[in-house]
Amino acid sequence: KAGVTQTPRYLIKTRGQQVTLSCSPISGHRSVSWYQQTPGQGLQFLFEYFSETQRNKGNFPGRFSGRQFSNSRSEMNVSTLELGDSALYLCASSPTPGAWDTEAFFGQGTRLTVV
């Protein structure tokens, strides 16, 4: 069974631009969550999607958005990029959001550098 796939692996963008990151969850998994990882703030939850609906949202500005498609693939978008948005963006997939005691499987992440 293939794992969580995130594309692209690396990205360099200029301040003010926007970026879209993609995540394909494990086959059969319907819940996708996104996290931002930085040296200063650690791993922080961005949002979770299930059945094309956002179910949870972290404390990030509205410049961060996401969506999920009918095949459970998810994208996240960051508009008007700032230098502080430079981070590793991780996607995690889980079978369903209702099974609270199940692990989340992470992808390798997309390394975003804003210059």
Residues in a beta bridge with 92: 33, 106
Using the minimum distance from each CB to another protein, give the nearer residue, 7 or 108: 108
DSSP secondary structure string, 34-96? EEEEETTTEEEEEEEEETTEEEEE-S--TTEEEEE-TTS-EEEEE-S--GGG-EEEEEEEES-
Candidates 35, 25, 28, 32; CA nearest to 5 is: 25
Using the minimum distance from each CB to another protein, give the nearer residue, 14 or 53: 53
C-beta of 88: minimal distance to another protein in Å? 8
C-beta of 15: minimal distance to another protein in Å? 25
C-beta of 64: minimal distance to another protein in Å? 15
Using the minimum distance from each CB to another protein, give the nearer residue, 81 or 92: 92
C-beta of 103: minimal distance to another protein in Å? 5
Residues at the site binding another protein, with contacts judged by CB under 8 A = 4, 31, 33, 35, 42-45, 48, 50, 55-56, 58, 90, 92, 94, 97, 100-101, 103-109
Using the minimum distance from each CB to another protein, give the nearer residue, 103 or 115: 103
* Cβ contact 114:82 at 8 Å: yes
- One-letter amino acid of 91: C
